[in-house]
Amino acid sequence: MADFLDISQLSLNKTGEELCGDQVKILRTDNKTRVVLSDGLGSGVKANILATLTSQIIITMLKENVPLEDVIGTVIGTLPVCQMRNIAYATFTIIEVDHSNYHFRVINFDNPPFFYLKGNRVVKLEKRTEHILDKEITFCEGNLERGDFVAAASDGILYAGLGVTFNFGWGWDNIADHMATVLSGRVLTAQTVVDSVVSKTQALYAGAPGDDATLVGLYLRQRKAAMVLTGPPLNREDDPTCARRLVEYEGRRIICGGTTANIVGRFLGKPVETLIDTMREEIPPIGRLGGVHLVTEGILTMSRAIEYIRTSDGDDAKLPRDGNGAVLLASELLFADAIHFLVGQQVNPFYQNPLLPTHISIRKNLVEQMAALLRELNKDVTVEYC
C-alpha cells in the first residue's frame, strides 16, 4: 500500500487565556502538503489575531502558487516590529512536503528549530541562512521515508518547567529524546507522538502553562484506505461491476445499505446475515458478509455516523462505547486516511423527499456532508457516482 503523510497538532493555552496565541494552518493539494505554525507575540486576543493573520497570509499565498521566497518577503515586510523588544510581532515555521518523493523543506523565522527523527533516531540537518528584509530566515531540506517524523514547536513547548523542574525549561534536546522514546514503541499515528509531548509539557507546567504551547507533527506511515459502497447503481447492469470493485479493493471494504449489500451478496454467491443484537432504538442492525469488513443499513446509519464524527472532533476515543452500526461506521471512517465513496444513484422512494427533484437524493446529500466533514479532518476523500 502507498504511504500517507499523517499530520496532528495540539495546543495549550496560557493559563487564564481563552484564546491561543499560536496558530496552525494546513494546506493539502494533489502535489504538496504545507503546514504553517505561527506564534504571536505575547498571549491572549492580540497574539491570537497576529498568529492567525500571519498563518492565513502564508497559507493563502501558497494556495495561489506564489513563489515561497515572495511569500516570506511579503510576510516579513508586513509584520510590525515591537518597539520595546525590537522583535517581530509574530514568528513562523513552514514545512513543505512534495508528494512525489516526500522531499521536504523547513523554513523558520524565529521559532525554535524543527525536529526530525528517522525512526527513533534524532537527525540534525545542515541549515542554510538567508536574510530577507534584514530578517534571518533558516532553510533545511531532507527526504522522508516511512517511519520518519518531522515536527515544529512554539517556544512554549521548550520553556515548560522553566523555574520549576528545569532551570531553562524542558529544552530542545530533552524533547527530541522524548520523541525518540515514543517512536521506539508502537506508533500508529502522528497523534501518538504529539499527544505524548504536549501531555509532558502540561505536566512540567504543573497544569498551569506559563505560555501558549503548540506542537504540530508530520509522520510518514502506511496509508489506511477504505471504500464505501452505498446505494444501487442507476442501471442494474452495472451491479456486478460495482460489486467487483468493492470486493477487489485493497483496503477496508464497507457497505451502507441493505439493497446494496444484497447486490454484493449475489455477486459473491453468499447470503447477508443480519446481527439482530446490534439493533438500537433508532439505528438498524448491522449485517455480516464474507469478504466485507462492515455492512450497515444506509440512510439512518449514515446520518447518525455523521453526528458521531462531528461531536467526536475526529477523535475515535470520543465515540460512544457501543457496537451499533453508526458507531462502527464512524470508527472505520476515522481510522482511514483515504476514503473512496462509490455512490449508486438509484433513488429509494421510501426515503426520497417528494418535493425534491429525483436526482437530488438524500443519500447523495449525506455522502457529500460526510465527505466534507472528513476532509476537514485532513483525510483524502473522493466521491464517485455510478
For residue 187, give every residue at least 6 positions away whose Cβ sits within 8 Å of its Cβ, in sequence order, or none.
193, 219
Question: What DSSP assignment string belongs to 260-317?
Answer: HHHHHHHHHT-PPEEEGGG--SSSPPEEE-TT-SEEE-SHHHHHHHHHHHHHHTT-GG
Least confident stretch, 83-92, 158-167, 346-355:
346-355
Supply the pLDDT for residue 83: 55
pLDDT(317) > 80: yes
For residues 306-341, b (16+ Cβ closer than 10 Å) or e, as one string? bebbeebebeeeebeeeebbbbbbbbbbbebbbbbb
Confidence of residue 340 (pLDDT cuts 50, 70, 90): very high
Identify which of 52, 134, 19, 53 has the alpha carbon closest to the alpha carbon of residue 87. 134
Supply the pLDDT for residue 345: 87
d(CA 66, CA 63): 8
Supply the pLDDT for residue 349: 58
Least confident stretch, 10-19, 66-75, 173-182, 325-334:
66-75
Supply the pLDDT for residue 67: 85
**Mean pLDDT (the chain, rounded):** 90
For residue 219, give every residue at least 6 positions away whose Cβ sits within 8 Å of its Cβ, in sequence order, or none.
5, 6, 7, 8, 148, 149, 187, 189, 190, 193
pLDDT tens per residue across span 236-256: 999 999 999 999 999 999 999
361 or 139, which is more confident? 139
76 or 301, which is more confident? 301
Domain boundaries, the chain: 3-220, 225-385
**CATH architecture observed for domain 3-220:** 4-Layer Sandwich (3.60)
Supply the pLDDT for residue 358: 47
H or E element that contains 196: helix 190-204
d(CA 11, CA 195): 10
Least confident stretch, 23-32, 60-69, 226-235, 285-294:
60-69
Find the distance separating the first CA and the last CA of the chain, reported in whole Å.
25
Count CB neighbours of 93 within 10 A: 25
Supply the pLDDT for residue 313: 85
Supply the pLDDT for residue 87: 54
Indicate whether this model's pTM tops 0.75: yes
pLDDT(357) > 90: no
Residue 341's alpha-carbon distances to 111, 331, 367, in angstroms, are 40, 16, 8
pLDDT(189) > 70: yes
